[in-house]
Amino acid sequence: MSSLNSTLPPNVSLVRPQFFYINGLSNIPYVKYYYIFLCFVFTVTLLGNSFIMFIIYIEQSLHTPKYMAVFHLAAVDTCGSTALIPKMIEAFLFDFPLITYEACLANMFFVHLFQFLQSFTVVLLAYDRFVAICFPLKYHLMLTTAGMGKMLGGIWILAAGVLIVGVGFITRLSFCKSIVINSYFCDHGPVYRMSCNDNFPNYVIAQISITVLLAAPLTLILLTYACIILAVLKIASVEERIKAMKTCTSHLILVAMFYLPISAIYIAANITTVDPNTRIISTSLSSTIPPMMNPIIYTIKTEEVMKVVKKVHKRNKTIKPTLSRITK
C-alpha cells in the first residue's frame, strides 16, 4: 500500500490522486464466498424487480398512485444495486480494487443517490397508506397519478441537489495522506476523512444529508403510522381494524428492513467504536438485501399483485396449448 501512497506528488497544495484503493473487508477467511453471495443477490434483485415492473406495466388496474411508487422503488432498487454490486464484485472477487478519482466521485454520487431515493419512496408509500386509512373517501382527490408523479420528480430534485453539493465539496479536498478507502465503495464519510486539509464543511454536509435524507423521512413515516394507529382505533369492528392494518403489512416490513439496520449502524458508531469489518458487512447487507427482498414482499404480501400474477400465469397456460395446436 505504501507504493500506492508514494505515487502522490509531494508539496502540492491540492492533491487529487489518479486513483483510490477500495480496501473492503480484511483478514477474514473465505471472504470471497461473501462476494459470490453478492453475485446471487444481484441476480435475484435484477430478476425480481424486473418482474414487479413488468407486472405493474402490463396490468391496467395497477396504474394507480400506489403502484407508481412501487414501480419507482423497483426501478431505483435495480439502479442502486447496479451502481454498487458490480463494482464490489470487480474489486474484491476479481482483485481489481483500484478506481480512478473521477469514477470514485461518480460511484459516490450514484450509490448515495439511489439509497436516498429509496428512503424517499418509502415515505411516499407511507403517505399512500396514511391517506387510504385516514381519509378513505378523499383518497382519489388527495392522491392522484399526476400528484404522485410530481412528488417523485420532487424527490429526485431534492436528493440530486443535496448530493451534488456533497460530492462537489469533495473536490476541494487534498488527499496527501492516503488513498486507501476503508469501505466497500467510494463512501462519502470514509473518503472525506482521508483528506489532509480542512474537511469540516464536508462533515456539515454529511450531517445535513443524513438528517434530510434519512432521519427526516423516518420521522415522517413514524408520524404517519401514529396517525394510522389512531384512525384504526376509532374503527368499531375488530375485523375492519385487522383488515386496515393488513394493508400496511408490506410497507411495515419494507420500513423495518430499510431503516433498522442503517439506524443501528449510525447509533452504534456514535456510541462506541465499531470494528471496520462489522461496519462494512452491516452496511453492505443493508444496502443490498432490501432491494432483493422488496419485489418478493410486494408480490407475496400484496393481494392485488398476486391476483395479477395468477391471471398472467393462467393466461400463459391457456396460450401454450393453443400455440401448440397451431404449430401442428
Instruction: Give the β-pairing of 180-181 and 98-100.
Output: unpaired
Helix (H) or strand (E) holding 247: none
Global confidence as pTM: 0.90
SS3 label, residue 91: helix
pLDDT in 10s for each residue of the chain, 328 residues: 444 444 444 445 688 999 999 998 888 888 899 999 999 999 999 999 999 999 999 999 999 999 999 999 999 999 999 999 999 999 999 999 999 999 999 999 999 999 999 999 999 999 999 999 999 999 999 999 999 999 999 999 999 999 999 999 999 999 988 899 999 999 999 999 999 999 999 999 999 998 988 899 999 999 999 999 999 999 888 899 998 888 898 899 999 989 988 888 878 877 877 788 888 898 899 999 999 999 988 877 787 888 888 887 777 766 555 545 555 5
In contact, 77 and 49? CB cutoff 8 Å: yes
Which cell goes with 320?
401454450
Three cell numbers written together for 285: 447487507
Q: Name the E strands within the chain.
A: 19-22, 98-100, 180-181
Task: Provide the pLDDT for residue 293.
Answer: 93
**Cell 410486494 found at:** 298
Domain 19-316 fold is Rhopdopsin 7-helix transmembrane proteins (1.20.1070)
Q: What is the pLDDT of residue 1?
A: 44
CA distances from 326 to 316, 319, 320, 321 (A): 15, 11, 10, 9
Identify which of 283, 78, 286 has the alpha carbon closest to the alpha carbon of residue 189. Answer: 283
- The three cell numbers of residue 269 are 458508531
- How far apart are alpha carbons 112 and 103 in whole angstroms? 14
Handedness of CA 222, 224, 228, 231 (dihedral sign): positive
Q: Are 203 and 192 in contact (CB under 8 A)?
A: yes
Question: What distance, in Å, lies between the first and last C-alpha atoms of the chain?
Answer: 67
